[in-house]
């Protein structure tokens, strides 16, 4: 299957600072990537859809000025959590979509655990 990487795998930052998370498709090109967050014992919540060369599409209730997404190339999308606060602490996961016989399979990166102190 397709491989998606994320960096860093975990990060601790102080309240008020910004954190950037990278998501890369390693062996394929991804015009579309997705960003999710997951709280303990809960399922994945889609935050935004990242499209290469255009603006991201945010889900209802997700602040686009707080969670900046940039999809600068066909293999890289970044999520920047700006002015992070403790309530932003979560597990952030990206995924990339791969065309498969007229449909799309979706592969996930290993996730980034963000802790804001």
Partner 1 sequence: EDKVVQSPLSLVVHEGDTVTLNCSYEVTNFRSLLWYKQEKKAPTFLFMLTSSGIEKKSGRLSSILDKKELFSILNITATQTGDSAIYLCAVSDYKLSFGAGTTVTVRA
| Segment interacting with partner 1 (CB under 8 A) among 13-21, 42-50, 62-70, 75-83 | 42-50
| Segment interacting with partner 1 (CB under 8 A) among 62-70, 71-79, 80-88, 102-110 | 102-110
Nearest distance from C-beta of residue 24 to partner 1, angstroms: 14
| Long-range contacts of residues 2-5, Cβ cutoff 8 Å, at least 24 apart | 2/26, 2/27, 2/28, 2/96, 2/98, 2/105, 2/107, 3/27, 3/107, 4/94, 4/95, 4/96, 4/107, 4/108, 4/109, 4/110, 5/109, 5/110
Interface ranges with partner 1 (CB under 8 A): 1, 6, 34, 42-44, 46, 49, 93, 95, 100, 103-111
């Amino acid at each position: 299957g397709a491989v998606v990487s994320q960096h860093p795998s975990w990060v601790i930052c102080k309240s008020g600072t910004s954190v950037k998370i990278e998501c890369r498709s390693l062996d394929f090109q991804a015009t579309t990537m997705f960003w999710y967050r997951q709280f303990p014992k809960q399922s994945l919540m889609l935050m935004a859809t990242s499209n290469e060369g255009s603006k991201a599409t945010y889900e209802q209730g997700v602040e686009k000025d707080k969670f900046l997404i940039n999809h600068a190339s066909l293999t890289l999308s970044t999520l920047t959590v700006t002015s992070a606060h403790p309530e932003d602490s979560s597990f952030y996961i990206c995924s990339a979509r791969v065309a498969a016989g007229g449909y799309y399979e979706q592969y996930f990166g290993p996730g980034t655990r963000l802790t804001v102190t």
